[in-house]
Structure 1
Amino acid sequence: MKRLSFLVLLFISTISLAQQNTVLTRWSAAKANAWYAKEPFLVGSNYAPANAINELEMFQAENFDPATIDKELAMAESIGMNTMRVFLHDLLWQDAAGFTKRLDQFLTICAKHKIWPMLVLFDSCWDPYPKLGKQHEPTPGIHNSGWVQSPGADALSDVSQYPRLEAYVKGVVGAFKNDPRILAWDTWNEPDNANDNNYGQNYLKTELAKDRKIAIITRLLPQVFQWVRSAGATQPLTSGVWIYRSPDDWQNAAKWSPMEKVQFENSDIITFHQYSKPEDLEKVIPALQTFGRPIICTEYMARGVNSKFQTHLPIAKKAKIGMINWGFVAGKTQTFLPWDSWQKPYVNGREPAVWFHEVFKQDGTPVDPAEVTAIKQATGK
């Protein structure tokens, strides 16, 4: 009897260990394309309400503002937008029940306005030292002066915090794994961005050393994909490449960086960023189409570098490449200011002659009515 009990326990342990060691694989191209065939031409913005300086202020209990979100997403619906890319944060999971409730409220508002968001779990951009609680006021004249990384530098460099990060990912994904209100999960935004010209080596120098940061995340990102899959996500997963390369580079795996290899080989759908002229978009689309998977551009539209609604949306629509621009309503992120405002701040209330990002000013008027017309034409509104 004891021997039988031992064998039963051994069998259970073996099965358990095998399950732990199972590598959950990405969707087949056929499954990804079948999913995408049901989607409309996806158009939207990277979204934070005008009164939130970052993702913490957007979702913390003391700042969460459903009324403002409802008003702004109604504006998005009015011009035909049907998705938003929205950043979450690992520190928010310290109030897991409250954060889950607020995220559910947010998704309900999105659904009310026929918007299916892509949710971003981690982000390597901007301030490497995030803190819960009251966020600082915007630094006058500087683009995205209060956006924070997730996880921050301390958590990235401390493996004892990885179980906390895993609990966050599995917790938030597990809570919404079957939710049809969610378009997709973006596991990590710009994972190899070292913020050279703001917090990194060329400016404040408060970042982790560039090579060290990238090496850490290159090891961690495959685990994050596995955490999301093991949590049972029924929505597709992605992590977008963002450094501009020649189209030939994307077709040659030997030219991918180790991080890009992780991103391409684990993503169910291909996502990328494209802050460049329309001719570059026309070249990169055929290169990415060789992957045989759905493609969504998750950041574009920076007027100062000739990335615009009027030029880019018709190109993308022809190929059914989803398009999500940076910024919606001008507010505390101040991303209507250009990236180089870190070096050349727009002081004394001075504004750039050409706004960098955003669709609407804070009073609800379009930055450029011709852009809203272009968005409506693209979305058939």
Structure 2
Amino acid sequence: MPLQATSMTGRRHCLALGAAAAGALLLPAARAQSYPAKPIRIVVPYPPGGATDFMARVIGEKLATRVGQTVIVDNKAGAGGIVGTDAVAKAAPDGYTVLVSLSTSMLTNQFLYEKLPYNPQRDLALVSHLAVSPVTLVVHPSVPAGTGPELMKYIAANKSKLSYGSWGNGSYAHMAGAHMSQSQNADMSHVPYKGEAAMIQDLLGGQIQLAYASALNAKPHIDAGKLKLIGVTGAKRMAILPNAPTLMEQGLKDEVYQIVGFVGMAVPAKTPKDIVDRLAREVQGIFEAPELVERIAGMGFTVSAGTPEAFAAVYKRDLPVWERLVKQSGAKLE
């Protein structure tokens, strides 16, 4: 009898373990199906009105319809995107606080700031690469160059005579301009502005000779013949400027001209993988609408919504390039 009782007890224990294991396997699928069970907050670490804010609001509106829950867009601006990004990094990892931000706060800030309150690689889980934002390289019409190689020769031949603008210290425009100057040993002067509008006004007036600028803000002046377009960054031509060759096409093969800024989505680290994947699938579905893709293209962006794994691969590829650019430019922010 004692042996029989022991055998029965062991059998029950095995059955209990089996049931627990089966339950553990079913848990992620069940959680993904029940998510979301309450409102989702999308944090945009910039003021309302910009391209990032626009994308977040489109995602919020469409996501609410797809999942049957309220989605709130919370503009938490401050310190170049740091305040809002830090708020998401420190939020509960449950999928109800989501970041939609630029590569600045998600990638490059970790190299620009000596003291950053969050570590994007440690504190954020990447969800989806939403869109990429190549930029134009434009010059004042007085500059006698029409292509990338011609501009490089002109820069090299005019050492210490030229100035390039940027929309701020540590921006891509700053770092790419510094790279051009150093690659040609040209000693160009960097003129940082508080925003792109002021930079373009000085470029139009000839106070600076060249700059990297967004297609959205540069195109009207290019079309009017007030600025000369040299080329665009990135691996592909821009839909908004289909006739403008990339700098790569023109023979500038350095990876500095290949990388582009991005708009991406992330959640706090340790958010369950099934919830991360669910969010990514919903985002991909949202950006399958042709009219939305076209509207975003008109803003100078290219939709790139995909899986968390695809986003991680791009992040890993571009990270050392951005790190090198920051070091080369000497940019440091407090």
More strand by share: 2
Q: Which structure would you say has the larger RCO, counting Cα contacts within 8 Å and 6 or more residues apart? A: 2
TM-score surpassing 0.5?
Answer: no
TM normalised by structure 2 equals: 0.30
Q: Which has the larger radius of gyration?
A: 2
